Amino acid sequence: MAFLVYTFDAGRVTGAYDRREDIINLKEGEDMLVFEMEWDKTTDLLACYELSSDKQSLVNPHAGKTMDEQRAVVEAVDKERRVSSLVKGKTAEIKGEAKRRLEEIEWKKQRAKDLDIVNGNTDAMTAYLNEREAIRTANNAHEAVLAALTEESDIFDFDPKAF
């Protein structure tokens, strides 16, 4: 028997212990659960275990695969999580840059209104609105380019302000 520690943040089992007493300073129920169960470390990779749909047990959806195949699955899932996290962070940076640019040209709105009153047309306001729309369009296009990236190195190299 082993005590397997499932951590919600990781979305998987993150530790195995021989005795419950060995699990120190862990707060079961808040961000993790502990399950007492049989675990054969020669056939089941610890990181493959997931919480069952009823949240009452652990299951290895890759049971029966070789250890190398299980490692490959875990590595693929880890990569997907890292990529997703990186994209989320860079997307927030893109949005922040777009917001900064929109705030930077906000002063033009009142000036455009004043010019249009003086000139008796809407040319200045139209130009201002077109400039705002260009920033939004560039933001959306930049986010689409980022979302298409799948390699961590490409995402690291991606400049969220270069639009």
pLDDT tens across 8-60, in order? 888 889 889 888 877 766 665 668 888 999 999 899 999 999 999 888 999 99
**For the chain, what is the radius of gyration of the CA atoms?**
26
Tokens representing 146 are 């980022």
Give the pLDDT mean for 126-147. 98
Tokens representing 124 are 């200045």
Of the candidate ranges 8-17, 72-81, 123-132, the one whose mean pLDDT is the lowest: 8-17
Q: Is the whole-model pTM more than 0.75?
A: no
